[in-house]
């Protein structure tokens, strides 16, 4: 996803899913002033990863939380998702 010209950074974490137990959630930070749709990002990834790896849930954020050592903070991302802290868009196909 980072290879997309309008994406500054991105994190993908597993979140609970009723059907599959867990599915990927993509949280992306886009270039300032750029509006990229979740559908466009999914299409961009479609020929780069296996179909079952493609996230169906997408969130655009101003920043991605990090741990004290600079890694993406997966626990915080999952927690924000569970609390409704992200505006999540679902894209299928």
Tens digits of residue pLDDT in 79-91: 999 999 999 999 9
Residue 50 sits in which domain range?
Answer: 7-90
Number of domains the chain is built from: 1
What's the CATH code of the domain at 85?
A: 3.30.300.30
Residue 49: inside a domain: yes
| pLDDT at residue 92, rounded to an integer | 84
Distance, CA of 89 to chain centre: 10
Mean predicted confidence (pLDDT) in 66-86: 98
Residue 2 lies in a domain: no
Return d(Cα 13, Cα 37) in angstroms, integer.
19
Measured CA to CA in angstroms, residue 21 lies from 26, 42, 74 at distances of 17, 21, 17
- pLDDT tens digits for range 12-54: 999 999 999 999 999 999 999 999 999 999 999 999 999 989 9
Structure tokens at 41: 């990002």
Compute the average pLDDT of residues 51-60: 94
Instruction: Look at residue 93 in the predicted model and tell me its pLDDT.
Output: 72
């Amino acid at each position: 996803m980072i290879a997309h010209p309008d994406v500054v950074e991105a994190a993908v974490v597993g979140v609970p899913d009723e059907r599959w137990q867990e599915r990927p959630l993509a949280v992306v930070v886009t270039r300032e002033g750029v509006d990229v749709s979740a559908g466009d990002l999914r299409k961009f990834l479609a020929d780069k990863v296996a179909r079952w790896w493609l996230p169906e849930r997408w969130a655009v954020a101003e920043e991605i939380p990090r741990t004290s050592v600079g890694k993406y903070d997966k626990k915080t991302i999952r927690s924000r998702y569970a609390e409704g802290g992200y505006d999540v868009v679902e894209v299928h196909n």
